[in-house]
Amino acid sequence: MDRLKIATVWQGGCFGCPMSFLDMDEFLIELAGSVDIVFSPIIDVKEYPEGVDVCLIEGAVCNRDNLEQLLKIRERTRIIVSFGDCAVTGNVPAIRNQLGLENAENVLQCAYIEHAQDNPTLPRDNGIVPELLERVRPVHEFVPVEAYLPGCPPSAPKIRALLERALAGLPLKLEGEQLKFG
């Protein structure tokens, strides 16, 4: 049987979800024996590959870079898992949607001009800060996902349960309904 090709992707979020992934401890060794990690911030692969079996997407969709990457992932991946509350609901990054700032331009003005202590400058066209989307949104608002793994972060046992199901060849999507591990 072919080894499962697994990817992990960080979009708009913090380091909490990946740390919970690493908390699976000895199961990571078992996992290493039966899967190939083909794309992840912790390995040196620059281009998201074709033919990925399972991708855990952490974080909300906050900017154009996130969105372009997400659309490419959807084309090249069989099973997308919305991994953690930021991916599932928008969570912490989506707080900016509630600040009454209305759009991305106001967010930039607030962060880089009004609250700047030195050298107030908008990070426009500098190639460092990607163009913000008008609102932060969860992953499923842009692409279909096969499973949700809520939690902030999801616990290691929940991540393990999902991966064991994938390793056993059990579906993560049943008759049009996404599985929710939480």
Q: Which residues of this protein are in contact with ligand SF4, per CB under 6 A?
A: 13-14, 16-17, 58-59, 84-86, 91-92, 152-153
42 burial class (0-12, 13-18, 19+ CB within 10 angstroms)?
Answer: exposed
> Minimum distance between the CB of residue 12 and ligand SF4, rounded to whole angstroms?
8
> Minimum distance between the CB of residue 2 and ligand SF4, rounded to whole angstroms?
30
For ligand SF4, the closer CB: 12 or 39? 12
Strand order in the sheet with 4-10: 35-39, 4-10, 52-58, 77-83, 147-149, 177-180, 173-174
> Minimum distance between the CB of residue 104 and ligand SF4, rounded to whole angstroms?
20
Which residues touch 138 (CB under 8 Å, ≥6 apart)?
60, 61, 82, 86, 87, 88, 89, 90, 94
> Minimum distance between the CB of residue 20 and ligand SF4, rounded to whole angstroms?
7
For ligand SF4, the closer CB: 5 or 54? 54
Rounded Cα distance between 121 and 101, Å, is: 18
For ligand SF4, the closer CB: 5 or 139? 139
For ligand SF4, the closer CB: 67 or 153? 153
